[in-house]
A and B are shown apart, each in its own frame.
Chain A
Amino acid sequence: MRTVVKGLFSVLMSMALITGCSSGNAPATGSQAGAGAGSEAAAGSGAGKASGEKTELTFFYPVAVGGPLTKIVDGMAEEFNKANPDIAVKPVYTGSYQDTTTKIQAAVQGKTPPDVAVMLSTELYTMLDMDAILPLDDFIAKDGGSEYVNDFYPGFMANSQVDGKTYSIPFQRSTIVLYYNKEAFKEVGLDPEKPPQNWDELVEYATKLKKDGRWGVEIPTSGFPYWMFQSFALQNGKNLMTEDGKKVFFDTPENVEALQLWVDLAKKHQVMPEGVIEWATVPSDFLEGKTAMMYHTTGNLTNVKNNAKFDFGVAFLPAKKTFGSPTGGGNFYMFKGIDEKKQEAAWKFIRFMTEPERAAQWSIDTGYVATRKSAYETESMKEYVKTFPVAAVARDQLAYGHAELSTHNNGKVTKALNDSLQAVITGQAEPAAALKKAQEEADKILAPFNK
């Protein structure tokens, strides 16, 4: 049993060692125009010796869904290296999102950050507070411009931008959709082409669909229930936080109403299991016919498509005041402390990885939503949507897509909300009181950032 404590110690150790080793060669941080002449001279003399030498980039990436994704990513990097003989990208698979962030954090503290990496889009404020990432605006201005940035869906871009600056580029992104069992719909006399449009219909349909051995609907609430909850908050009119990530709105009457709906689905209407519902088993429940509808990530689309033995549909999440769903998933980040040549190369790589053709192929291979509008204009994507129309549902819902919950001190803030949500789900607290507690805790956590 390799314990985390040992891990913690060794991380501390390695940090100490790495800092010790690298304190001598202070990395050339993004020296701007002022130091231009000097750095150019240095670069010139370096180039003389190293003609034909490659710019090497280290690229950290996580894998969060099933399938042989490492092969696909490594393949894409190889393609890039072929097309750019002067650059050598070294892709490093770094485990889950959490593992990747941990490794990057250790590397940043050891002053040997990776050059470019994919991390959760919600890590933005954490990375800013660590002073670890570079704004990408200069690169965008030089290459791509607003035409490039505006091609991404705003719901994805929202987690990338703060104070008018862009810090990350969307790559593997998802959102929540409603999956429903068309055969179950037919069985109880519902129109299989008409999924529930609003909260009332959700309750009504779920009640009809519920029978012995089959739930009406399942909304996963283990691990990170805030994500699911956020969709209900959005449908009821307002996101959970401000755009600058310094304030949250947990205890609004609208959110209390949303949370009461969750409680009612389980306790009053008894169409959803009581207690916390495990994220990983919800798709299995759906495939086994144990639930007629489920809220889940689009990342599961390919899984459901390959394994469902019945006809299924994918729909927008039922609306209240409006449709709505948060986005999720990972973005490209570039790190401080790498020299200009590497920065240029890293930008080239990001551009390459997010080209419409590649975004389309990535979406088809994985079930992630393609991040750019132009990706859906490509031939391969058009063909895919034609044979598998539900793939377009997530894209269309993006018109109502918003930033995922992301604040300063994100880990603590989301835990405050997660704990309160689970306290309500397990019947330990009332929605209003629990959300008030989460709000108070979050306010306290965010206080240092509001000075």
Chain B
Amino acid sequence: MGLEHRAKWRINIYAWLLLLPSLIFLVLFTFYPVLQTVILSFYQADLGSPEPFFNGGDNYRIMLEDDVFWKVLTNNLWFALGTVPTSIALGLAMALFANKALRGKGFVRTAYFYPTVVPMIAVANIWLFIYTPEYGALSHVMEWFGHGGMNWLGDRTNVMFAMIFMVIWKEAGYFMIFYLAGLQNISKELYESASMDGAKPWTVFRRVTFPLLMPTTMFVLIIAFTNSFKLVDHLVIMTKGGPDNASNLLLYYIYETAFSFWDQGMASALTVVMVVILLLVAAIQFFGLDKKIHYN
């Protein structure tokens, strides 16, 4: 037991004490509920069984045979593919523009950021009427092209595009804020030397700006992807997952299973799937993409 060892031990204790408050909350409100959910997912706990009982992997087996489960999972994948890259690209473009704009910088930023501030429920109500056939705002525009009567939310193929478009509109401004912050961190000297070398704007973006924004992109990517699984408020207002599950997403299906079917066991099993997916995504992005990032 050397002195050195004791000092190390004291530093450790100190660190633990600092971490303790947030750790308590994490355990209480994240780890413990996750554990409970995992346990409950192995129980039959629905309206047909007065007392929940252990049923092994039955919930998971039934889930794999459930068409709606596969439908919401593929829907969610398309939803993520549709929203994540576009909203990130748009967020970056908006950030570059808002950063450049000399006059009305504040106005441009506020205007771009505005959709993010509006609560999702309000957004859903606004877009519900934008998408209304006949006299909705979109219908008026489409009338010029002779397609005024398009039923955006009542059609199986249209509804997903309608949702994706709305979410991109809502999310892009949020990602812009991160990119704006990222842009502030890039040293001006780099741009000066680039212009000395006579680099074209596109080359500057490709060789300087974009690589140095990689940490931001990485962060935004995770946020965007998890959001595509977490954002379901609009379904409650706009479609209830319809028509025939065409706009249904995993989280809304969990909600339906828990609070409309009262099947707590199945809802827990679905939740476990969701948690695993999100953890996987985070893991891939942290351990895979992390290596390709330049931190300056």
Contact = CB atoms under 8 A, between A and B. Distances in A.
A joins B in a complex: yes
Interface of A: 1, 3-5, 8-10, 12-13, 16, 98, 101-102, 105, 126, 129-131, 213, 221-223, 273-278, 280-281, 284-285, 288, 290, 408-409, 411-412, 415, 418-420, 422-423, 425-426, 428, 448-449
Contacts of A449: 48
A288 B28 CA distance: 53
B133 interface: yes
Contact of A278 (B50, B154, B230, B245): B154
Contact of A276 (B128, B151, B256): B151
A293 to B, nearest CB: 16
B180 interface: no
A98 B261 contact: no
A281 B261 contact: no
A5 B274 contact: yes
Given A5-B254, A98-B260, A276-B154, A130 B232 contact: no
Contacts of A281: 128-129, 132
Interface of B: 28-30, 32-34, 36-37, 40, 46-50, 68, 120, 128-129, 132-135, 149, 151, 153-156, 227, 230-233, 239-240, 242-246, 251-252, 254-256, 258-263, 267, 271, 274
Contacts of B47: 126, 129-130, 408-409
A1 B153 contact: no
B251 A278 contact: no
Contacts of B155: 274-276, 426
Contacts of B232: 3-4
B259 A425 contact: no
A129 B40 CA distance: 19
A131 B40 CA distance: 20
13 contacts: A1-B230, A4-B251, A5-B230, A8-B258, A8-B271, A12-B33, A101-B259, A105-B262, A222-B239, A275-B155, A276-B154, A280-B128, A420-B244
Contact of B251 (A5, A408, A411, A425): A5
Given A1-B230, A278-B153, A426 B244 contact: yes
Contact of B244 (A213, A278, A422): A422
B29 A285 contact: no
B72 to A, nearest CB: 12
Nearest to A437: B67
Contacts of B261: 409, 411-412, 415
Given A276-B243, A278-B128, A426 B254 contact: no
A201 to B, nearest CB: 25
Nearest 7 pairs between A and B by C-beta? A275-B154, A276-B154, A411-B260, A9-B33, A422-B243, A448-B48, A275-B151
Contact of A426 (B29, B132, B243, B260): B243
Nearest to A2: B233
Nearest to B119: A1
Nearest to A15: B36
A288 B261 CA distance: 37
Contacts of B28: 13
A35 B151 CA distance: 64
B256 A425 contact: no
Contact of A428 (B135, B156, B256): B156
A450 B149 CA distance: 47
Nearest to B134: A290
A229 to B, nearest CB: 14
B29 to A, nearest CB: 7
Among B134, B231, B271, the most chain A Cβ lie within 10 Å of the Cβ of B134
A278 B48 CA distance: 33
Given A13-B33, A130-B47, A409-B47, A422 B230 contact: no
B262 A411 contact: yes
Among B68, B132, B254, the most chain A Cβ lie within 10 Å of the Cβ of B132
Contacts of A277: 151, 154
B61 to A, nearest CB: 14
B267 A8 contact: yes
Given A129-B50, A222-B243, 13 more contacts: A1-B120, A1-B231, A9-B34, A13-B28, A130-B262, A276-B154, A408-B47, A411-B260, A415-B256, A415-B260, A419-B244, A426-B155, A426-B243
Given A8-B267, A13-B32, A223 B240 contact: yes
Given A4-B255, A290-B135, A419-B245, A222 B48 contact: no
Contacts of A408: 47-48
Contact of B151 (A101, A274, A420): A274
A273 B133 contact: yes
Given A5-B230, A12-B33, A411-B261, A222 B154 contact: yes
Contact of A3 (B36, B230, B260, B267): B230
A415 B230 CA distance: 23
A294 B47 CA distance: 36
Contacts of A12: 33, 36-37, 40
Contacts of A288: 134-135
B242 A223 contact: yes
Contacts of B30: 9
Contacts of A423: 243-244
Given A8-B267, A278-B153, A285-B134, A98 B243 contact: no
A419 B68 CA distance: 10
Given A4-B251, A5-B230, A8-B267, A428 B244 contact: yes
B277 to A, nearest CB: 12
B120 A9 contact: no
Nearest to A418: B242
A425 B230 contact: no
Contacts of B242: 222-223, 276, 418-419, 422
A8 to B, nearest CB: 6
Contacts of B251: 3-5
A304 B244 CA distance: 30
B175 to A, nearest CB: 14
A420 B245 CA distance: 10
Nearest to B49: A448
A422 B261 CA distance: 19
Contacts of A9: 29-30, 33-34, 37
A98 B255 CA distance: 11
A222 B240 CA distance: 8
Contacts of A284: 132
A4 B270 CA distance: 13
A420 B135 CA distance: 29
A8 B151 contact: no
